[in-house]
Structure 1
Amino acid sequence: MSVWPVNIRRSSLRLTPRLSLVEQPASGALSPRRREKLPRRQIIRRRVVIQGLRTQGKRQSSRYLVLLVQEAPAGEESQAAFFTPKRIGAAHLRNRLRRRMREVYRRFIAPAVTGEKRLWLWSARPEAASMTFMELKEAMVQLSDRQKISRRSS
């Protein structure tokens, strides 16, 4: 059964072209976009690596977060993993917290430790769900700085 009114034909409808949100240069070529997310190659995906981090990584913790850090194997770049346990709440809350943690890591922590090859495992505690972005940033930067200090002293 057709949902189109009887007096309008499909062929007579003209769709207007979409307007581009990206401005085009005068030459007509599209300008390259800068990626605004953490590259997939910098996210730990292998279970073996995560288990190794849990057993051999150096642990730093605060009221809101737990950080495990380990030197990356030779020839590999820095990578990070972000965990949010189900105790935090519904899936949308866990996902939002994970997105925020990734963004803080990408913007503020990864650029600060560019020369050091490390594996980072960030785990949120239930109290972290109520944090604002700026509070989360301060907590993560403080933990990463504390980890640097303890690494120098050992």
Structure 2
Amino acid sequence: MRMKKAYRLKSRVAFQSVYTQGRSAANRAAVIHALKQEAGTATRVGFAAGRRLGKAVVRNRVKRRLREAVRSFWPRIRPGHHVVVVGRQAAVDMPFPELRAKIEELFERAGLLQREG
């Protein structure tokens, strides 16, 4: 199942505000930038991959893999945030289970995950 469009961050203005006002956490797979929104709003996530990762095919594959990694733990993400996930070079050929674990670890460090239970 795909992530609903209502939960995606798309506009340049939204990305810029998250980059400039938000807080970030990073590891070798990715960087996440998170900006708290007013209470009661759904969390929205955007994905980015810079040109230095490679040509469009490679960048799009990285974004698809990041999207799938986030989707796998989507129900645990706290509401009320805008998040941008930026792929890094290591994400290009990292095995998917490791990529998923690294992304989940970033969300945990940023305080965006609810406790399981």
**1:51–1:123 Cα change, 3 Å:** same
Larger RCO: 1 or 2 (CA < 8 Å, sep 6+): 2
Does 1:132 pair with 2:117?
no
Does 1:111 pair with 2:111?
no
- In 1, are the aligned partners of 2:45 and 2:85 still within 8 Å (CA)? yes
* Deviation for aligned residue 1:74: 4.8
* Deviation for aligned residue 1:147: 1.0
Q: Which of the two has higher C-alpha Rg? A: 1
* Deviation for aligned residue 1:132: 1.5
Aligned mates of 1:82, 1:75 — CA distance in 2: 23
Ranges in structure 1 where 5+ consecutive residues have no aligned partner: 1-35, 150-154
Aligned mates of 1:123, 1:53 — CA distance in 2: 12
* Deviation for aligned residue 1:111: 0.8
Aligned mates of 2:20, 2:55 — CA distance in 1: 28
The one of 89, 94, 102 equivalent to 2:59 is 94
Ranges in structure 2 where 5+ consecutive residues have no aligned partner: 113-117
The Cα RMSD (Å) is: 1.6
Q: TM-score, normalised by structure 1?
A: 0.67
- In 1, are the aligned partners of 2:29 and 2:103 still within 8 Å (CA)? no
Tell me which amino acid in the other structure corresponds to 2:108. Answer: D
Q: Report percent identity of matched pairs.
A: 29
The one of 8, 11, 19 equivalent to 1:54 is 19
Measured against aligned partners, the alpha-carbon deviations of 1:9-52 in whole angstroms (never above 9, x if no partner) come to xxxxxxxxxxxxxxxxxxxxxxxxxxx10111111112221111
Aligned mates of 1:133, 1:77 — CA distance in 2: 27
